[in-house]
Amino acid sequence: MSPSNIPGPRAAFTATAAMRAILAGLAMAALPQASRGLDGVGRVDSGAALAGIALPSPTDTTLAITFLDVGQGDAVLIRAPEGQTALVDAGRRDIVPLLREMGVDGIDLLVATHPHADHIGGMAAVIRSMPVRFYMDSGQPHTTATYRGLLAALEARPEITYLEAVPRTISLGSAEIEVLPLLPRATTDLNNRSVALVVRFGSFTALLSGDSEVQQLTHLVGRGVVPAVTLLKAPHHGSDNGFTWPFLEAARPEVVVISVGRNGYGHPRPAALRAYADVGATVLRTDLAGHVAILGYEHGDFGVARGEQVAAVMRAGGGQSGSEDVVADAVVGAGSAAGAPGGVSAADSGADLRLSVYADAPGNDNRNPNGEYVVIQNLGAVAQAIGGWRLCDLANHCFSFPAGAVLAAGATITLYSGPGRSDGNRYHMGYRRAVWNNNGDTATLYDERGAVVVAYRY
Ligand SMILES: [Zn+2]
């Protein structure tokens, strides 16, 4: 993304509360220009507005939510399948080098959940260093030099459109970000007015809510706005005031990421870690894993990358390669298998296919069969009909591609082990348990006559 690719509304930015209300209105009035095909843009005071942020860019298959390892603090990078980027908080220090390492050179939506230094300390540097289209916060000022520095950086960038965090839905490519209702300002403190966001991409759902504590979590549950989620950012760095049982029962996360570093608060607290384990969630911590990227698939599955893998995954476009799930990857073209690493045999089908097996699902493989999958890529220049072809493991778990199935030139298809709906790009074997053995297996693709096209042993 480059600045010239960012058409859209322009509104002067100013920091005063009165002007903010006016500017929020301006921003909403201007949004239809940027919302391609989205109707129903509401007035900002309606409490329910639909804002579109739509930029053309290459498509991908995953929503990437990356928890940058910024020590004690939060910086969560969201990248839509089409490449649009949101950054929720920016850590305590300058994270611009880290963003560049992740391949980020512009931010479509920048969110300050609340004005504490471990969330906004690095934000002014981001605003000064790269294009930012929209900036959102709770509308609540603070008295610190860090906060004043953030306001000064915003005032120097009048092209950034201010959005107040009122309930509304923002389109980020094919993902949606829903802003949840905040408690009234007079009734609570900064942590409990953290901007809370539900991020959706198909059936994949994530909840991010800054440093919200019991009061805000109780408010959200009471309003009925906490959905069942795939991913939960642990509120308040895994503090024991950052969860309630009704909240966790509503959210039922499959994976919890705790953004935490060395701190004097005892974060994450044992009670919170136990609670996340008790609801069956996989728990990942930035202080132990480094950066943590959760790659969300449209049908609700997710993959995980961590540490040094994350930058490679992000720079590659958030796809599957580079994920820790990669255990096998081989290219075996027709007639070339004899000496190809990992190659077993190949029939003379003329196909030039790459087979990759992602055998190790996050968590327990047998409880997450769609966390493991095989990717088949057509490296050839012509489309390959694969109707009637079969892919099998050594234990004769097989999948037959339906009649008429085609793998276009240069395209990939993904075959998940678990049940689900197949759509021509993604197929499901329909097994309730893991298929691919993590300790070694062989994936073999047979054509309609039963001849081996490509195989890989790992
Ligand atoms: Zn914090």
DSSP string, 212-277: --HHHHHHHHHTT-----SEEEPGGGG-TTS--HHHHHHH--SEEEE---S-SS-PSPHHHHHHHH
Q: Token digits for 372?
A: 């493991």
- 335 C-alpha to ligand 1 centroid (Å): 58
**Tens of pLDDT, residues 172-198:** 999 999 999 999 999 999 999 999 999
The CA distance from 350 to 344, in Å, is: 16
The CA distance from 349 to 90, in Å, is: 52
Mean pLDDT for 241-262 is 97
What integer pLDDT is reported at residue 234 of this predicted model?
98
What integer pLDDT is reported at residue 271 of this predicted model?
96
- 127 C-alpha to ligand 1 centroid (Å): 20
- 227 C-alpha to ligand 1 centroid (Å): 23
**Average pLDDT, whole number, for the chain?**
79
User: 117: buried, middle or exposed (CB in 10 Å: 19+, 13-18, 0-12)?
Assistant: middle
Mean pLDDT for 220-229 is 98
Q: Token digits for 233?
A: 């950012």
Conformational region of residue 438, where left means phi above 0, alpha means psi within -120 to 50, and beta covers everything else:
alpha
Please name which of 360, 385, 386 lies closest in space to residue 374, comparing C-alpha atoms. Answer: 360
- 243 C-alpha to ligand 1 centroid (Å): 14
- 444 C-alpha to ligand 1 centroid (Å): 49
Which neighbouring-strand residues pair with 445?
Answer: 391, 454
The CA distance from 168 to 238, in Å, is: 27
Q: State phi, psi for 197 to the nearest 5 degrees.
A: -125, 135
Q: Is the pLDDT of residue 28 over 50?
A: no
244 vs 369: which has the higher pLDDT? 244
- 240 C-alpha to ligand 1 centroid (Å): 13
Q: State phi, psi for 439 to the nearest 5 degrees.
A: -95, 5
The CA distance from 427 to 80, in Å, is: 22
- 210 C-alpha to ligand 1 centroid (Å): 7
The CA distance from 249 to 251, in Å, is: 6
Contacts of 200 (CB under 8 A, 6+ apart): 175, 176, 177, 178, 206
Supply the Cα-derived Rg of the chain in whole angstroms: 23
Measured in residues, the chain has a length of 458
Contacts of 270 (CB under 8 A, 6+ apart): none
Domain limits, CATH 3.60.15.10, in the chain: 3-315
CA 114 to chain centre: 21
Q: Token digits for 12?
A: 């002067």
- 74 C-alpha to ligand 1 centroid (Å): 7
Mean pLDDT for 11-29 is 31
- 151 C-alpha to ligand 1 centroid (Å): 19
Domain limits, CATH 2.60.40.1260, in the chain: 326-457
- 73 C-alpha to ligand 1 centroid (Å): 5
- 123 C-alpha to ligand 1 centroid (Å): 14
334 vs 83: which has the higher pLDDT? 83
- 120 C-alpha to ligand 1 centroid (Å): 9
Q: What is the CATH number of domain 3-315?
A: 3.60.15.10
DSSP, res 173:
T
Ion ligand 1, residues whose Cβ is below 5 A away: 118, 211
DSSP, res 455:
E
Q: Which of 8-12, 349-353, 443-447, 453-457 has the lowest mean pLDDT?
A: 8-12
What integer pLDDT is reported at residue 119 of this predicted model?
98
What integer pLDDT is reported at residue 70 of this predicted model?
98
Conformational region of residue 279, where left means phi above 0, alpha means psi within -120 to 50, and beta covers everything else:
alpha
Look up the CATH superfamily of 326-457. Answer: Lamin Tail domain (2.60.40.1260)
Q: Token digits for 416?
A: 């998940």
- 116 C-alpha to ligand 1 centroid (Å): 7
The structure's pTM equals: 0.61
- 288 C-alpha to ligand 1 centroid (Å): 18
- 368 C-alpha to ligand 1 centroid (Å): 32
- 119 C-alpha to ligand 1 centroid (Å): 6
Are 177 and 197 a contacting pair, CB within 8 Å?
yes
- 126 C-alpha to ligand 1 centroid (Å): 18
- 88 C-alpha to ligand 1 centroid (Å): 12
- 285 C-alpha to ligand 1 centroid (Å): 15
Q: Is the pLDDT of residue 136 over 50?
A: yes
- 238 C-alpha to ligand 1 centroid (Å): 10
Pairing of strands 373-378, 412-416: antiparallel
